Amino acid sequence: MAKTNQEWWPQMLNVDILDENERDVSPYDEDFDYAEEFQKLDLEEVKADIRQVMMDSKDWWPADYGTYGPLFIRMAWHSAGTYRTADGRAGASGGLQRLPPESSWPDNINLDKARRLLQPVKLKYGRKLSWGDLIVLAGNVALETMGFETFGFAGGREDEFKSNEATVWGPEENWEETSPERFEDGEVGNLKDPLANTVMGLIYVNPEGPYGEPDVEGSAANIREEFSRMAMNDEETVALIAGGHTFGKVHGADDPEDHLGPAPEGAPIDEQGLGWDHDFDEIPGMITSGIEGPWNDTPTQWDTGYVDNLLDNEWTSVKGPGGAWQWTPVDADDVEDAPGAQNPEESEEPMMLTTDVALKHDDDYREVLERFQENPDEFQEAFAKAWYKLIHRDMGPPERLLGPEVPDETFVWQDPLPDADYDLIGDEEVAELEEAVLDTDLSRTQLIKTAWASASTYRESDKRGGANGARVRLEPQRSWEVNEPEELETVLETLEGVQEEFNGSRDDDVRVSLADLIVLAGNVAVEQAAADAGYDVDVPFEPGRTDATAEQTDEESFEHLEPKVDGFRNYLGSGDYDDMYDTPEERLVDKAELLNLTVPDMTALVGGMRSLGATYGDSDRGVFTDEPGTLTNDFFDVLLDMEYEWVSVDEDDEVFEVRDRDTGEVEYEATRLDLIFGSNARLRATADVYGADDGEQELVEDFVDAWTKVMRNDRFDLE
């Protein structure tokens, strides 16, 4: 197969990931509204169809214990469990488990069969039911059918039809490997951002233990780090593991390397998308992980059997029939056998994974286990809430959740917002507020930087962040270095004064939120900057944002939204970071992808912000203009001008002087975040357009469009 450009030149900045924000590869037409279609479903009918599939064992893939329930739970868990807090990517939304690489991960062996079993349900409901929703709903139905009371289910996961190439899974080149490059400073137990899994191709951690060895202490450490990167605390972690392992079994009748065919993406065409071909005539038992056995004697029933078995017995590590490390009871007579998965007349001895035994040997995890054993109702509630969080963590605020089973209760991890208990401002009030903002002593640059600081936290991946809520005035955001806390404080105090004066003067129910006022102030600053350049633009503004409280804000979880680098404000950060991105410009593109920007969007925003002087610390770096605060194309004019040369002035090649080629005089200072728009071929091709003599109007128009997109990204109420 021919090499890609990226393979020919590995150091080339990959901006192609932004193209996914440019075009829709869905086969549905542009008017398709999945939320509207989902609401047409009779959810009880769908669940009945899933139950029917679940209890109908097929000869081509026979069900364990007469039900596919445990298989569906594993499918849902592995779909949702890829989510990570660092960048909000992965998770159940999009139905990405059916696309590579997840479709062919070693940890997802035979989940292709689970989805194929559900194909008739998907075909029946078509566009009304996405794979993302069906996979998660099947897990819920399975739990309920086996006696567990779930906390609820929300639809709304629109399917993707192409893998997200922006998701970084790790540095390894082979599956089921763990390399030192996965960890900061090469130290195991300190994963590099944005990673969450410790092994390439596994959802969480190696079930045999770190590096495939039955090390319970190391396993507990890996579990804690991994689950914390999924936003789970110790109680939620234990509840999820104990609750999930209450059902079903693991499969290792023999070594998977010897008896399984290639993964789906590498399988022959006649397999029609199925992989891991298994000859049941040769090896009658099933093979998945290579670990064999159930966890308790009631693998299709909700109870405390897993917790009781783990705590009440001693376990020793052995190599199972599949050649993998697992744990067997020291005194087998004390542990009740489970029925055979395929023949209830037979029996199977329960086992434990290294990751199970690790919970028992970790003091904090064990305390939770013992509490669950003593209080089964508390265990039930903890698992219900942790499972609900697991399968909905990537869906954003509660207003995006659809269907009759959405619970009334909301949680702080959902970033809830208050309802507006007032009338919204209209055109007349907007004009009044714009004048009030312009009458303050705040500069355009201050207004633009504050609006950007508020809105640019948004992540399309998990629908977190954004201007709605005005959380820029709350911790931790108001203290982030990139937001220049002292200057931010000045701007917020001034805008709060405008808000108070406006709201206090009203004799009706019309009020303005600070969230709306911050965006409006940024918009009017952009309009003024464009006007000074000779362009009459109207930056769209829609009121309706409300102000979140500190109680509605999970301060710790918002730390993950703090940018290490912000290329739009030319903020290089401390440079003291060890993550999966090698250069500041890679972090710029990554942020642009999360903001749902295209290559022209990113280019116009960076060039425009530089001309506006909206840089960190009001630095002159990248401000290639004699008229800062005016929306011109001066940045691109200088960038493309061969009258200048670029000379590095630091050992990291992050800061450069822009010198006159003839005189050697330093005209400007710049960073890599500026030079990349002249260095990278695709970015330079776009810069050519904006830097042309007739390109300034195009720049202004594109800047306004991209600015508006960022300001509106989290306005789900407008969709």
Is the Cβ–Cβ distance between 369 and 242 less than 8 Å? yes
| Residue at token pair 């298994």 | 278
Indicate which residue of 78, 251, 278, 392 is catalytic.
Answer: 78
Map 47-59 to HEC letters.
HHHHHHHHCCCEC
Enclosing H/E stretch for 667: strand 666-671
- The tokens describing 364, both together, are 């904090």
| Residue at token pair 């397999």 | 271
**Region at 491 (left for phi over 0; alpha for psi -120 to 50; beta for the rest):** alpha
**Nearest to 483, CA basis, from 363, 395, 571:** 571
> Using CA atoms, how far apart are residues 389 and 373, in angstroms rounded to an integer?
22
Active-site residue, 278 included: no
Q: CB within 8 A of 533, min separation 6: which ones? A: 630, 631, 632, 696, 700
> Using CA atoms, how far apart are residues 516 and 607, in angstroms rounded to an integer?
25
User: Half-sphere exposure of 410 toward its Cβ, with a 13 Å CA cutoff?
Assistant: 16
Is the Cβ–Cβ distance between 605 and 469 less than 8 Å? no
- The tokens describing 167, both together, are 């998701």
Is the Cβ–Cβ distance between 277 and 109 less than 8 Å? no
- The tokens describing 677, both together, are 């728009």
**Region at 328 (left for phi over 0; alpha for psi -120 to 50; beta for the rest):** beta
DSSP letter assigned to residue 294: E
| Residue at token pair 């450069």 | 656
> Using CA atoms, how far apart are residues 357 and 215, in angstroms rounded to an integer?
10
> Using CA atoms, how far apart are residues 585 and 283, in angstroms rounded to an integer?
52
- The tokens describing 420, both together, are 């507006």
DSSP letter assigned to residue 568: T
Burial of 340 (0-12, 13-18, 19+ CB in 10 A): middle
> Using CA atoms, how far apart are residues 151 and 580, in angstroms rounded to an integer?
36
Is the Cβ–Cβ distance between 522 and 545 less than 8 Å? no
Handedness of CA 298, 299, 304, 308 (dihedral sign): positive
Secondary structure (DSSP) of 675-694? HHHHHSHHHHHHHHHHHSTT
Secondary structure (DSSP) of 331-358? SGGGSPPEEPSS-TTSEE---B-HHHHH
464 three-class SS: strand
Residues with catalytic function? 78
